[in-house]
């Protein structure tokens, strides 16, 4: 077991930042990335976006998650913040249970 940092970046589909972000995270060789797509959400503008109207082209929320060593996550997030455009990033420590943790 090992303590790693789980980072989560909130995007909106309409920002078209996902492809570049995934490339960056891959270039940084983070251990793994998962992208979740929300069905509804709203941000600072308080305008609710939802898939309820069955329009798949809507500007739905995306959640990009990855984890790595705390110091690597800090460095990667600093890099991403400098790139700009990434408005909402949170992170927290988690326990990594897999024996393959250092198989990178």
Return the H-helix or E-strand segment holding 83.
helix 70-83
Which CB sits closer to its own copies, 15 or 34?
34
By the criterion CB under 8 A, which residues form the site for its own copies? 4, 6, 8, 10, 18, 22, 26, 29, 31-44, 46, 48, 50, 61-63, 67, 77, 81, 86-100, 103-104
Which CB sits closer to its own copies, 55 or 90?
90
CB 44 → its own copies: shortest distance, Å?
6
Orientation angle between helical segments 18-27 and 70-83, nearest 10 degrees: 140
CB 24 → its own copies: shortest distance, Å?
12
| 90 vs 40: CA distance, rounded Å | 19
Other Cβ atoms closer than 10 A to 92: 9
CB 15 → its own copies: shortest distance, Å?
14
């Amino acid at each position: 077991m090992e303590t790693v940092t789980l980072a989560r970046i909130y995007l909106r589909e309409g920002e078209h930042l996902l492809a570049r972000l995934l490339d960056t995270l891959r270039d940084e060789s983070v251990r793994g990335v998962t992208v979740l797509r929300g069905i509804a959400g709203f941000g600072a503008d308080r305008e609710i976006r939802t898939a309820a109207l069955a329009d798949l082209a809507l500007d739905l929320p995306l959640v990009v998650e990855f984890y790595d060593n705390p110091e690597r996550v800090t460095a990667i997030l600093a890099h991403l913040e400098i790139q700009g455009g990434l408005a909402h990033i949170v992170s927290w420590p988690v326990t990594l249970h897999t024996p393959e943790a250092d198989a990178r």
